Structure 1
Amino acid sequence: MITSDGGNLALDLTQLAANQYAGGRVDTQGKYDYTHGTLEARVHVPATDGHIGAVWLQADGGLTPGGVIDGTARDGAEIDIMESTYKADKYPATVIYDGYGSGYRSSSTVVNAPNLHGVWYHTFGLEWTPTSPTYLYDGAVVRTVTDPNLISQVQEFPILSHEVLASSEGSVTAAPLDWHSTVYVDYVRIWQ
């Protein structure tokens, strides 16, 4: 569920039925995508309890354009700038490529993120160049990719999401279903 809260985007966590929950997602698929540039998002990340906040990019053609599994991210990737899968103040910065099936591949770095859940807003960024995408947390570099096989060279669209995932720590059944479990987004900026 997506709501507005005084000018901020609110991606709520909602219980639909017994053991059935929903988050929210906003993306620009089919409306805006880009290749190379800088993305910065100012986001409040709630405590992780079986649900996550995420800032990421996705190739419009998916991870295997034309069904080709080529061992690289050059033809499209899921670029997870931030995915709050841990209860502790850390998160993975990940590149996923060659689909979600048998060809699935990924490269990830766990980012230590002081006060991730304790301070209201943080900035998450990606300075994406053809040769070295750089991930940022509150303006500090937390990962730089230099392997050319891990760098997408195609247009990607930005996504903000609040997801219920079995792979995240905790249990969504323990999450408070109020503002404590909401992902708030102050802004997203992209420069090219």
Structure 2
Amino acid sequence: MSDRRIRVILPLFGLTCAALIAAPSAGAALVAAPAPESDSRSSLVDTKTPHNAKPLARGKVKALVFSDEFNGTSLDTSKWTARDWARSGTVPPDTWSYDPANVSLNGAGSLEIKVRNPAANTYTGGLIDSQGKFDFTHGTLEARIKVPPTNGHLGAVWLLPTGGLAPGGVYDGTARDGAEMDIVESNFKADQYSATLHWDSFNPPQHQQSGAVATAPGLHSGYHTVGLKWSATKLEFTYDGSVVRTVTDPKLISQVKEYPLLSHEILDQWADGSIHDEVFDSSSSFYVDYIRVWQ
């Protein structure tokens, strides 16, 4: 039988039963209520994440091992690094880069990743990742996101292998030794997005990929939850708890540690028309309400 005391609030005096037991007489001091139990979860789990938080996508999970609710005023650098990198693949004369100045918490409980046009033919976005701070093999990842209206915008939730796409410089022709797993790339104006795997290399001729377009009702209407259920034998990409892509080919399923990334960029090849006509303000930002990983 548990020794936890039953606490009943007496409406007249506002005293608990525990307090009354400890104070039989009017002149005796009342005993303070017990302190709440400490949070025994991993330090990589946000203390603001509810203890009963479960994935929208049903399935067996053992424990929450990583989360960020993006509250507060600054990025948690024990979990994330905001990158300052040039971005290849832009269409000349445009240049493009990831700029840490575009990454912030919006004060309303979300990560905001902006895109900017600071000078003619110059564009910046943002990327954060947990490389060297958190990685995992197999589990369920979910992120609640709000994607930008897409004219060249690409808001993304993805994973990269800790050891790279071709560990030891060996191109083995499979994703088993690591793959880029794009859980969402919001590269469509319609309510759909790309869910893609890349492996062996980002460059030809070694580069290989397997892509699919997920139907996502209401994607551009507000926040929605995207996810990946990753086991040794199956990948299930999910949208608001429903499976939108399934991969069972063993050659396409990573069996190594991978780490999460959150990013936003703008590229001509994704635009209907030109990104030069795009408006850059808070309405064109990519927002992440939370990210959580269970194993």
TM range (shorter): over 0.9
Match of 2:208 in 1: 105
Q: Secondary structure at the match of 2:268?
A: coil
Give, in angstroms, the shift of residue 89 of structure 1: 1.2
Matches within 5 A, 1:1-192: 1-5=102-106, 6-101=108-203, 102-117=205-220, 119-170=221-272, 171-192=274-295
Q: Secondary structure at the match of 1:48?
A: coil
Instruction: Name the CA distance, whole Å, in 2 between partners of 1:124 and 1:54.
Output: 10
In the alignment, residue 120 of structure 1 is paired with which amino acid? G
Show structure 1 runs of 4+ deviating over 4 A.
Answer: none
Give, in angstroms, the shift of residue 43 of structure 1: 0.3
Structure 1 or 2: larger strand share?
1
Q: What do the CA deviations read for 1:110-132 (whole angstroms, capped 9, x no partner)? A: 11111211x21010000000000
Instruction: Name the CA distance, whole Å, in 1 between partners of 2:183 and 2:216.
Output: 13
- Aligned-residue CA RMSD (Å): 1.0
Instruction: Assess if the C-alpha contact under 8 Å between 1:135 and 1:141 holds in 2.
Output: yes
Instruction: Name the CA distance, whole Å, in 1 between partners of 2:184 and 2:160.
Output: 13
Instruction: Name the CA distance, whole Å, in 1 between partners of 2:262 and 2:278.
Output: 20
Q: Secondary structure at the match of 1:75?
A: coil
Q: What do the CA deviations read for 1:106-153 (whole angstroms, capped 9, x no partner)? A: 011111111211x21010000000000100001110011100000000
Instruction: Assess if the C-alpha contact under 8 Å between 1:2 and 1:24 holds in 2.
Output: yes
In the alignment, residue 136 of structure 2 is paired with which amino acid? Y
Instruction: Assess if the C-alpha contact under 8 Å between 1:81 and 1:93 holds in 2.
Output: yes
Instruction: Name the CA distance, whole Å, in 1 between partners of 2:267 and 2:249.
Output: 29
Structure 1's unaligned 5+ residue stretches are: none
Instruction: Pick 1 or 2: higher relative contact order, CA cutoff 8 A, min separation 6.
Output: 1
Q: What do the CA deviations read for 1:136-189 (whole angstroms, capped 9, x no partner)? A: 001110011100000000000000100123331333222221111100110000
In the alignment, residue 65 of structure 1 is paired with which amino acid? P
Aligned residue pairs total 191
In the alignment, residue 172 of structure 2 is paired with which amino acid? D
Give, in angstroms, the shift of residue 60 of structure 1: 1.7
Instruction: Name the CA distance, whole Å, in 1 between partners of 2:198 and 2:268.
Output: 18
Q: Secondary structure at the match of 2:141?
A: strand
Q: Secondary structure at the match of 2:127?
A: strand
Instruction: Call closer, same or farther: CA 1:165–1:66 in 2, change over 3 Å.
Output: farther
Q: What do the CA deviations read for 1:83-123 (whole angstroms, capped 9, x no partner)? A: 01112111111110010122010011111111211x21010
Identity rate of aligned residues, in percent?
54
Structure 2's unaligned 5+ residue stretches are: 1-101
In the alignment, residue 36 of structure 1 is paired with which amino acid? H
Instruction: Name the CA distance, whole Å, in 2 between partners of 1:66 and 1:168.
Output: 33
